[in-house]
Chains A and B, each alone.
Chain A
Amino acid sequence: MDIRRHLKQARTRTKKPFARTAFTVVSALVREYGLDHGFLAQLRDFSLPGAAELLALGLVEKDSFEAPLFSLTGAPGYWLTQEILAAADNPYLRFAHSPEELLLSGPLFRLNPELAPAALARVHFRTLAAREIIQREISRLESAGEAEANPELAAAWGSLLHRLNAIINNKQQEHL
């Protein structure tokens, strides 16, 4: 290939913005919060609570945490990070800002594997998980025909979903 064509191709190629790897984020969280094997056990046994339990914990802002661009860690931290990555194993890990979000990342990915990166980066996983659970609950009510039998419950879920969607959309737009 001649050099002119090569240069043209190189210039037209879209550049990907730099993104931190899941290893970098998780090892930074391990160091920041002093996570240990107790946390790993908690991660392995974690099961997602219901929407009511999640909402009872309150809707919170995403923690202000910025992982370094690259992370170097000692041997114990490295192996723990690798075990957490293996246990959680989902692409949402690199958007986690706290140990709680590390726990929620796996169930959230199973609920909806197609969440937008902007929402993951700006909205707390607890809020996103609550919305996904409520959406599923509404679909279940509609498919089972219970929505007509119990219109008050369907309306309550509907208004809650509406509120959560508004919060999530606002969060995504306020950074644009």
Chain B
Amino acid sequence: MRRLWNCHPGLLVAGNFLYLPLVFDPYIAQELEANPPAELDSQGNPVPSSPLLIKAQDSAFIKTVKLESLLEQYADFDPVGWEEMRRSVLGDIPESNRDNPSLPDPVLAVILFQIMPYFLKRSRSLSRRGLDRKELLELIEEHVQLPPPYARQSGKLPENKNLRAAIARLADRAERSPGPPPSGLVPADVLKEWFFQALAAKISAQERARLSQALAEQEKWADLYRRHSGLLTYLVEKGSLEVDGFGFARGRGKNEYRIYKRTGVYALKDFYGRPYIFPDCRVAVSTARRLTPFVIEHYKHPLLRRHSSGQDICTPKDFQPSLTFSAANIIKALETGINALYYGYNARRRNGYHSLDRIHQERLISFDDYRVPPDDPRMVSGEVEIKNIFD
């Protein structure tokens, strides 16, 4: 792009298309002689309209891209320039307004309103719909004993004034669009100025739409937040919660969380079909590092290397732990971890770091203490299920 703005003697714009000075070699020059380029009329319009080549000031110009397409796709071919421009347009808009205006802690907002509903499904219908925000906050309130100062707290929403002012400012800037592009042969710096003004207006319009949507979302839930503001403040300050086997706990960093899901008690069978009952454990993902599932408890399992706490779970090859924090990535990592513990061990193949039943060899980790008779009452009653039955 930088080289584009240094073009001499200038750039040609006709019919919203950008024409660049033609480069030559003998073959191109020969072709140009056979097909003479169109000329500009007195008003600077090419005759005929939208030709492939135009001659102006003794130079030939060739048709390239539409200026509108250049504006549309600018983010893709110059992401760094786009981000710089976006930052300069957003300028002093506070960071908290940019991503999630509903809670002061954006990571916590994602955990509460995007990840948690996925794991807490209450609908009895076949669709197993996730909880909406209202149902979720009511459910949490049932499980949490709020200390008196929080329980008495009267609802007050986070201030919207700044957000409204930012939207108004962006709307004002979006309206200052420079209009249609200049036509004819224009100096490169004039076209550059027009292009960046148009780009700033476009970014302003986009950001305004995004913030307006965020504000509308905030206002939609305003009443709900007002009613549960004590709970939300408590959660932001405490930073930990567990409901129905799903939970999170804040780590040392401000926005660092360990998000976990309990496996519950489950059973695996060995090569001979003998059941082993495994205790409950929390499979977690930390937002402070690569999103790899690990066990929080002191735990042993064929897919864990040792018998200790904080071990990464051996996951399938096709699972690539992500580095980016997002609800989808966290859910995928937690599900992969739990599925590995439940279904990852194949009794026939005895895969994993250890096998449940290798009795003739010395074993680093023994699972004999987990073995139970097939008529164990927990299994007979259906309370504990054998997971690795693939027949």
**Cα of A78 to Cα of B25 in the assembled complex, Å:** 7
Interface contact B29-A74, CB-CB below 8 Å: no
Interface contact A75-B24, CB-CB below 8 Å: yes
Interface contact B59-A75, CB-CB below 8 Å: yes
Total inter-chain residue pairs, C-beta < 8 Å: 26
**Cα of A24 to Cα of B58 in the assembled complex, Å:** 23
For chain B, the bracket of interface size reads 10 to 19
Is B26 an interface residue, CB under 8 A from the partner?
yes
Q: Chain B 163-183, CB within 8 Å of chain A: the 1/0 string?
A: 000000000000000000000
Is B380 an interface residue, CB under 8 A from the partner?
no
Is B65 an interface residue, CB under 8 A from the partner?
no
Is A72 an interface residue, CB under 8 A from the partner?
yes
For chain A, the bracket of interface size reads 10 to 19
Interface contact A73-B25, CB-CB below 8 Å: yes
**Cα of A162 to Cα of B390 in the assembled complex, Å:** 90
Is A165 an interface residue, CB under 8 A from the partner?
no
Q: Quick one: which of B175-233 are within 8 Å of A by CB?
A: none
Is A23 an interface residue, CB under 8 A from the partner?
yes
Interface contact B25-A71, CB-CB below 8 Å: yes
Is B1 an interface residue, CB under 8 A from the partner?
no
Q: Using known A-B contacts A75-B59, A75-B60, determine if residue A23 contacts B25 with beta carbons closer than 8 Å.
A: yes
Q: Chain B 1-29, CB within 8 Å of chain A: the 1/0 string?
A: 00000000000000000000111111011
**Cα of A23 to Cα of B22 in the assembled complex, Å:** 17
Complex interface: chain B residues within 8 A of A78 (CB): 24-25, 29
Interface contact A74-B25, CB-CB below 8 Å: no
Complex interface: chain B residues within 8 A of A72 (CB): 23-25, 28
Q: Chain A 29-73, CB within 8 Å of chain B: the 1/0 string?
A: 000000000000000000000000000000000000000001111
Interface contact A75-B25, CB-CB below 8 Å: no
**Cα of A72 to Cα of B58 in the assembled complex, Å:** 18
A-B contact pairs, 10 of them (CB 8 A): A70-B25, A72-B24, A72-B25, A72-B28, A73-B24, A74-B21, A75-B24, A78-B24, A78-B25, A78-B29
Residues of B within 8 A of A (CB): 21-26, 28-29, 58-60
Residues of A within 8 A of B (CB): 23-24, 27, 70-75, 77-78
